[in-house]
Structure 1
Amino acid sequence: MLILLEMMAEESRALTAPAVLEPLMAALAKGEQEALAELYRRGRTAVYGLALSYLKNQHDAEDVTQDTFIRVWEHAGQYRPNGTPLAWILTIARNLALMKLRERGKAQDMTPEEWEKVAGENPLLTAEDRHVLNMAMNELADQERQIVILHAVTGFKHREIAALLELPLATVLSKYRRALQKLKTKLEGGESK
């Protein structure tokens, strides 16, 4: 299962590589709607995963995902290739998710079905894999779950996660290792710490 998480991260990185997204951003800045459709296809899972990791509510995460791509369309001309296009898009998503949290006041717990949606679009996961992954992910603390989702779903590297969550890199690495240990323990049938 842990290997599967790493495979998901690799697949996500390939879909959202800067070399792939930069031309789409340039076309988007020129007003090409087809570029938005392709950008959405490639980036929606990462944006949804990030929003869900903050909001813990499927409907709010879907709203933030849609709002993110509307903002990307409206502000594509302001994008400058200083970092990666996905980082720019996820910063928009993060800001929208935080605004939604402030409006709502607090995060709500996610149902197993909502967690399943995070991994649901990945063809590498069988229904049984998704069920096992959901059970294991529920063992993690909120921030650990968020870091694992950001790594596995968006394909972000730990340094990028640290910047996005405004945490020290050492904290992200520590929480990621702790989360993997909890997942391993759960998947092997033991009790988590």
Structure 2
Amino acid sequence: MSKDILILLFGPDGSGKTTLARLLKQKLEKDRLKVKISWMRGTHTISLILAFILSRFSNMRGEDNPYFRIRTPKPRKMWQLLEFISALPVILLKYKVPLFLGYIVIGERSYCDLIVWIAMVTKDPKFIASVPSLFLLRIASKGMNFYVTADAEILMKRRKGDVDRDFLLAQLVYYNLLSRLVGAIKIDTSNKKLSESVSELMSAIKSPSFT
């Protein structure tokens, strides 16, 4: 397997991305390859600081952003742009630079997760067709994309009820659409052992269509 390969995992929380990324890294490192796991989702750098500040004000409290418990500020298009711009340093430092240095980069959460995050927190399905989203999809298409998912009931059980069912189902609609747009290979972890899912990943990565 050559170096500077970008492996992008994306999908809903509870699907197993974190564990799969870690196990995949271990397997690749056995071949003496340099591997780095990178992570992104949303609300980074500038938007992270602003979201933290907004969370201190009672009139900004809400459920649009479930991590900071805030309402998304208006105009929402402006917040979408801020989220996108705030993610650019993360893309550069966690993905592009390691690739340039010869690492195989495994995106535990990646560009498609960022698109879903922004669409969800701004409650704007049309964001999928926006310029920032199309830019992210374009750079995602340069990597190996894997849509890691599971049945909704299993995802709910794994998350121990800490995610709203309607929120999860809305996420899945976005993820299913994006997986088709980037031509992702689907890894369904619903009723599989971790070893089976990792083997699926390895087989796909080593297939002639990728190498």
Length-normalised TM-score, structure 2: 0.29
Structure 1 or 2, whichever has the larger Rg, is 2
Length-normalised TM-score, structure 1: 0.31
The structure where helix makes up a greater share of residues is: 1
The structure where strand makes up a greater share of residues is: 2
